[in-house]
Structure 1
Amino acid sequence: MPMMSAAAIRDEPPGPINWNLLDAEAAEAEWRDLDRFVLWLKTAFGLSPAIVPPYWHRHDELIWELSALHLHFLACFDEIASPSAPIAWMRDFSDARHRLREWVATCGTRLDGDRPTRQSRWPGETAETRGGEVKIADRAADFEEFVRTDVLRRRRTQAIVDRQLLG
């Protein structure tokens, strides 16, 4: 499975992605780029759902880890990277697989089912209602719905900010 990256067609080298600050259009592009990378990674390295589960996109801890791994890959395999950078990526990928396994075990997502990551409530915090476990039927359809919902949320947020700034 070939891996094309949006970062590969940019004029500048990729930089860190702060998922909290992306606007709707940038988020959609980054989601699709990250999804291609994750699918390539899973296939190229034969990763089990214990490392990369189908609903990785529903868990912040997995998003941030996989995103960081993706950016590191792009930097290490760039044409101007050091010739030893790919082996550094492989070493770091080994470390990331251990962290991913821990994140997956903690959040409880599996090949056939997913639930929101459990959150510990600190004294004085109100309990947040989170959904229960869902059966995973179609990963690709869920990813599309997830991205659509995220992009719409970001557009609504930006519209609110724009209205407040423009008075």
Structure 2
Amino acid sequence: MNDFIPAPASDETDGEFADPLMAEPPHPINWNLLTAEDAEVEWLELNRWVDWLRKTYGLPAAVVPPAWFRHPELLWELSALHLHWLCAYDPEENGSAPLGWHRDFADARERLRDWVATSGTRLDRDRPTRQTTWPGEEPAAPIEDTPIVNRDSEFVDFIMADVARRREAEDAFYANLNPGTGEVS
């Protein structure tokens, strides 16, 4: 349930969670299977929560970098942490659930630090996470850092591209359905 919203940590965050995007109970998110419409909602909701999290807990870029959304390892960890937080702070949950969340949050911060260090993303620049080339695979293209100039506009551009890619895949799938049987032709 996402209608339980924490009190803002400061005046800067007033109203940040006043209009939740999700009106359904929390559930695990499989980012690989989301429709374009669902992905847009989930991205925006997670982004708002990650912003709240980093401000509330004073997290450095070594734990949650500005371009976290470009790194699947950070996306999956933060998404799971968000779900855990939603469940821990659900009004129907028992009173010790938030302590469990904070214990798990400490573990998650260590994993996030490791992945941020491995990926090479920083406060002011980003690069794709390096991939190890296995024997027989084509060598990976050289990876270069790109500056992060305006994080919010880069997030919006990234999400728009992701949603467009998903919508294109959906359109292609539905274009191949046989109208009579509903099966892929």
Q: What's 1:153 paired with?
A: 165
Match status 1:29 vs 2:41: yes
SS of the residue aligned with 1:25? helix
Identity %: 51
Q: What's the TM-score, normalizing by structure 2?
A: 0.85
What code does the residue aligned with 1:69 have? Answer: L
**Could you report, residue by residue, the CA deviation over 1:85-140 in whole angstroms, capped at 9, with x for unpaired residues?**
00000000000000000010000000011010000011122234365210011000
Q: What's 1:76 paired with?
A: 88
Q: Find the aligned partners of 2:39 and 2:95 in 1 and give their Cα distance.
A: 31
What code does the residue aligned with 1:116 have? Answer: P
Q: What's 1:42 paired with?
A: 54
RMSD: 1.3
Counterpart selection for 1:119 from 125, 131, 138: 131
Match status 1:6 vs 2:29: no
Q: Verify the 8 A CA contact 2:130 2:143 in the aligned structure 1.
A: no
Q: What's 2:112 paired with?
A: 100
Which has the larger displacement, 123-132 or 112-121?
123-132
Q: Find the aligned partners of 1:74 and 1:46 in 2 and give their Cα distance.
A: 20
Q: Verify the 8 A CA contact 1:116 1:130 in the aligned structure 2.
A: no
Structure 1 stretches lacking a partner, 5+ long:
none
Q: Verify the 8 A CA contact 1:108 1:114 in the aligned structure 2.
A: yes
Q: What's 2:148 paired with?
A: 136
More helix, by proportion: 1
SS of the residue aligned with 1:165? coil
Q: Find the aligned partners of 1:21 and 1:127 in 2 and give their Cα distance.
A: 29
Which has the larger displacement, 117-126 or 15-24?
117-126
**Could you report, residue by residue, the CA deviation over 1:39-94 in whole angstroms, capped at 9, with x for unpaired residues?**
00000000000000000001000000000000000000001111100000000000
What code does the residue aligned with 2:21 have? Answer: A
Q: What's the TM-score, normalizing by structure 1?
A: 0.94
Q: Find the aligned partners of 2:83 and 2:107 in 1 and give their Cα distance.
A: 15
Q: 1:30 to 1:110 in 2, by over 3 A?
A: same
